[in-house]
Structures are given as C-alpha cells and as structure tokens.
C-alpha cells in the first residue's frame, strides 16, 4: 500500500487528525467483534494526541473496554522517572481514561535483567494477540515517532536491534546515549495492520526529507526500515516538519 502523507498546520491540528484515526481504527476493529491492539511510542510529539483521546472530544467515542495498549519502546528508567515513556502516557491519557489498568501493558525496562524483561514482554504479547504458530503478532495500530537522527521506536542508527530478525522485543544498547532501551523489533512492527508516524518540528525537517526522498547512499535511516508487509503506513506531519518536502498538489 502506498504510504499516505497528511500535512497539518500545527501540532494541535495534527494531533486531532491522529486522534480521529485512532478512534476510527479502533471502531473498525471492534466492529469485527475483537479487541483493538495498539502499541504506543514515547517522546514528546504523541503527548497531545494521547491527551485528546482521554479528553471530552474523543473519550466517549473511543472503545476503552475493547482496547489493549502496549508500548513500542521504553527507556531503562523506573515508571515514575521524568524520562519514562510510561509516565508520559500515564499523565497524558491513562490517569484520565476509563481504561482498566490491566489493559495497559507496561514495558518493565527498569529491570536489572533486561533480557528476561524483554522475553516476558514478548510472552505478554503472545498471550494477548495469540498469533498462530510461527507467525508474527499483528497489532491493529502502531504509533511511531521520528528522531532527528532518523531513529524510530528505539531502533537507533548503528545499533544491534536493527539486525534482529527473530525476537519480537529486545534490549538495545544505544552507545551515543550511553543507555539501554527496550524496543519492539522491525518484524513485529512491520506485521501491523496500520502504522502511523507523528512528526512535528523544524528540527525533523531535514531528516524527514532524507527518509522519504533519499538522494544519496548516506540517506539511510532506521525509519526507512518501517514498511508494513500487509498494512497501511500513514505519515502525520506538521508544516514545520514537512517544510523541505516537495509541495503536493
Ligand atoms: C522514545 C521514542 C522515540 C521517539 C522519537 C521522537 O522513547 O524516545 O519512542 O522513538 O518517538 O525519539 O521523539 P519526539 O516525539 O520527542 O521528537
């Protein structure tokens, strides 16, 4: 499927469109009489979308009781730490949304044994999504962001997780940040029915152009590895992030 690109005036307009898409995708899935499985990223850009979902304009439309949230990636900090992706999602959405606590699956990336924690998280995904033997688990929607270095999830340039072809969830050491992360891997992300990128900010404009319109061998970035095998890819962009992209008629 051809990736869709939608450019919005600013973060608020982009977030409203993204929240609308979350609701539509959830309603479409639940209409098929099964839960809606979605995986959420961290960082700052999705905060407004998550906050809108739990707010007056969207909360009544969203099927909270039929939704199961997972995390795309997490930093190796406790869940109340300021850098915690879980904390951002909790403060933006979970503290106000009528989602049963057991239906948000937190990545325990603060664990001293990240390898076991990653394995346990993959098991949680298996129990919930129960893919048929040998198949990849299929999330209904995975929300991603884009870093100024072209990373997405915690798939950073030059890191081991980029090469993972078997495991669903891995610890990933990010040398330039001198830290460990936990992240879903390309095979799981690319098995999703739908992947939406949320990208905002002038600091993303150059890398976004090079990710979407590579011009030289140097234009190789982890975000380019996101290509759903049988799903839809959507880019939600703000004008500031999209300013170097070719104008669309
Ligand atoms: C994380 C994220 C990461 C994020 C990008 C963009 O843990 O940091 O999951 O992949 O999506 O870094 O972050 P911003 O939205 O803050 O620019």
| Closest residue CA from atom 2 of ligand 1 | 42
Q: Which of 14, 15, 39, 41 best tests ligand 1's pocket when mutated (most atoms within 8 Å of CB)?
A: 41
Per-residue pLDDT at 214: 95
Give this prediction's pTM. Answer: 0.97
Cβ atoms of 220 and 155 closer than 8 Å:
no
* pLDDT digit string (tens) for the chain, length 249 residues: 778 999 999 999 999 999 999 999 999 999 998 999 999 999 999 999 999 999 999 999 999 999 999 999 999 999 999 999 999 999 999 999 999 999 999 999 999 999 999 999 999 999 999 887 778 999 999 999 999 999 999 999 999 999 999 999 999 999 999 999 999 999 999 999 999 999 999 999 999 999 999 999 999 999 999 999 999 999 999 999 999 998 866
Residue closest by Cα to atom 10 of ligand 1:
153
pLDDT at 135: 83
Give 92-122 as a DSSP string: IIITTS---GGGEE---TT-S-HHHHHHHHH
Distance (Å, rounded) from C-alpha 40 to C-alpha 81? 18
Q: Please tell me the predicted confidence (pLDDT) of residue 249.
A: 64
Residues belonging to the chain? 249
Q: Report the pLDDT value the prediction gives residue 84, as an integer from 0 to 100.
A: 98
What pLDDT is recorded for position 42? 98
Rounded to the nearest angstrom, the distance between the alpha carbon of 97 and the centre of ligand 1 is: 22
| pLDDT of 133 | 75
Per-residue CA distances from 51 to 15, 19, 45 (Å)? 9, 9, 11
């Amino acid at each position: 499927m051809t990736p869709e690109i939608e450019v919005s005036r600013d973060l608020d307009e982009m977030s409203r469109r993204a929240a609308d898409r979350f609701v539509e995708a959830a309603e479409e899935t639940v209409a098929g009489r099964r839960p809606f499985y979605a995986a959420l990223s961290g960082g700052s850009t999705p905060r407004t979308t998550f906050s809108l979902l739990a707010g007056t304009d969207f909360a009544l439309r969203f099927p909270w009781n039929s939704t199961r949230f997972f995390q795309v990636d997490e930093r190796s900090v406790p869940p109340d730490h300021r850098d915690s992706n879980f904390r951002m999602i909790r403060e933006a959405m979970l503290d106000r949304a009528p989602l049963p606590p057991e239906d948000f699956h937190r990545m325990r990336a603060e664990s001293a044994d990240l390898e076991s924690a990653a394995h346990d998280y993959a098991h949680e995904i298996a129990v919930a999504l129960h893919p048929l033997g040998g198949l990849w688990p299929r999330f209904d929607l995975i929300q991603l962001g884009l870093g100024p270095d072209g990373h997405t999830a915690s798939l950073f340039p030059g890191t081991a997780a980029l090469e993972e072809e078997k495991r669903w969830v891995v610890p990933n050491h990010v040398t330039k940040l001198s830290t460990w992360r936990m992240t879903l891997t390309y095979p799981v992300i690319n098995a999703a029915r739908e992947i939406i990128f949320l990208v905002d900010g002038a600091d993303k404009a150059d890398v976004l152009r090079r990710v979407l319109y590579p011009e030289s061998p140097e234009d190789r970035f982890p975000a380019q590895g996101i290509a759903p095998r049988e799903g839809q890819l959507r880019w939600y962009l703000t004008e500031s992030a999209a300013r170097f992209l070719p104008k669309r008629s």
